[in-house]
Amino acid sequence: MVEPLTLGSSLALTGFGFYLLNRFQKQRQARLRSLALLQKYSTTSRIGVHRGRMRLLVNMPQVNQLSPQEQAAWYERDERRNRNFLELDLLQPLADTQENEPPNEEERERELQARSTWIESHDPPLQEHATVVAEEHIGSGVVVATEADEEHEVNIDERLEREGGASGEVQVSLAWDDYNDLDLHLFCPSGERIYFNNKRSDCGGELDVDMNVQPVSNTPVENVVWRGNAPLGTYKIGVHFYKHHRKRRTKRVCQYRLRVITHGQTKEYLGKIKYGQAMQMVTSFSLADSHKG
C-alpha cells in the first residue's frame, strides 16, 4: 500500500515536472520565433570587445521599413492592441490638476498613493496588456534621429544629471517636453518587465528615474540602466501614455525622444503617442556574442 504522503508528493512532483516542461516549450517557441524574425528583418553591427569576445548588436526594423503587405498586418495587430487596452479598462481618468499652479509635496504624495491604489486593482490587466505588446518585434514607426533634427534637440544627459540618473552598459532614456506622465517599459532578456511597479529586475536592470506621476516638470526624463554585466538576449522598449495632466500647453498627443545606448553606441528615436492609445513597442534589439570575435 502506498503511503498517502508519498502519493501526494509524487503527484506534486509530477505536476511540477509538467509545469517546467510546458514553460521550457513556451520559452523555446519564443526563442525560435525571435530567431526567425531576426534572420528575416534585422541588421547587425559589431559594437566592440566585451570580456574578450566581440559583441554584436542586432536591431529590429520599424513598421515603415516593411513591405505594404507586412505593414497592413502590423496595423491589424496594432488595432488589436488598442482594443485590448480599452477592453481591459486601463485608460486613466483625466487628472484634476490646476492649470498653472505647481503641485506641492502633499499633492505629490497623494498622487503616488493614487497610483499605488490603481495598480493594486489594475496590475493583472496591465500585465495582460504588456504580454500582448511583448509579442511584437517590429517598431511602431518612430524616426531614427539624425544630426539634422535640431528642432527636436533634447539634452538628455543634462536632464539625467539633474535627476541623478545613472549610465551603464545598456541604458534606455525617455524624454518629453510637457507635464504629461509617460512611462518607460523595458522588456528584459530574462522575460521580466521593468516599469514603475517593478523598478529592479533580477537580471540587473533598474528604473532609477521615474517622473511626472504628479506634473512637476515640463522637461521630464525616465531612465532604465544596466550599470554592468548587461545580459545577452532581446530587449524590447515600450512607451505608455499613463496620464494626461491638464496643464498649460499640455496636449493629448505627446512627442518624445528615446535614446538607447549599448556599450557606448548611441541611437535616438523621435516618436509621438496619443492619450488612450495602447502601449507602443517603440523598438527592440538583441545583444549577442560573436563566435568570430
Q: What is the pLDDT of residues 57-81, one digit of tens each?
A: 888 899 998 999 999 999 999 999 9
In a domain, 26, yes or no: no
Q: What gap in Å lies between CA 152 and CA 150, rounded to an integer?
A: 5
Tell me which amino acid residue 126 is. L
Tell me which amino acid residue 282 is. V
In a domain, 66, yes or no: yes
- Tell me how many domains the chain contains: 1
* Look-up of cell digits 509545469: 19
* Total residues belonging to the chain: 293
Q: Is 224:171 a contact under the CB 8 Å cutoff?
A: yes
The alpha-helical segments, DSSP class H, found in the chain are 4-41, 68-87, 105-134, 156-163
| β partners of residue 172 | 224, 260
Predicted local confidence at residue 161, as pLDDT = 96
pLDDT tens digit string along 197-214?
999 999 999 999 999 988
Predicted local confidence at residue 283, as pLDDT = 94
Predicted local confidence at residue 2, as pLDDT = 46
Q: What gap in Å lies between CA 176 and CA 219, rounded to an integer?
A: 6
CA dihedral sign, ordered 185, 82, 75, 180: negative
In a domain, 47, yes or no: no
Q: What gap in Å lies between CA 291 and CA 12, rounded to an integer?
A: 42
What pTM was estimated for this model as a whole? 0.81
Per cent of the chain over pLDDT 70 is 75
pLDDT tens digit string along 169-178?
999 999 999 9
Evaluate if residue 274 carries a pLDDT over 80: yes
In a domain, 25, yes or no: no
Three-state secondary structure call for residue 90? coil
Q: How is residue 92 annotated by DSSP? A: P
Three-state secondary structure call for residue 255? strand
pLDDT tens digit string along 176-198?
999 999 999 999 999 999 999 99
In a domain, 35, yes or no: no
In a domain, 221, yes or no: yes
Q: What gap in Å lies between CA 280 and CA 283, rounded to an integer?
A: 9
Show the domain range for 113: 57-289
* Look-up of cell digits 522637461: 219
Max mean pLDDT range (1-5, 97-101, 116-120): 116-120
Give 243 or 103, the one with higher predicted confidence: 243
H or E element, residue 105: helix 105-134
* Look-up of cell digits 568570430: 292
In a domain, 44, yes or no: no
Q: Give which of 76, 24, 36, 84 is closest to 60, Cα–Cα.
A: 36
In a domain, 10, yes or no: no
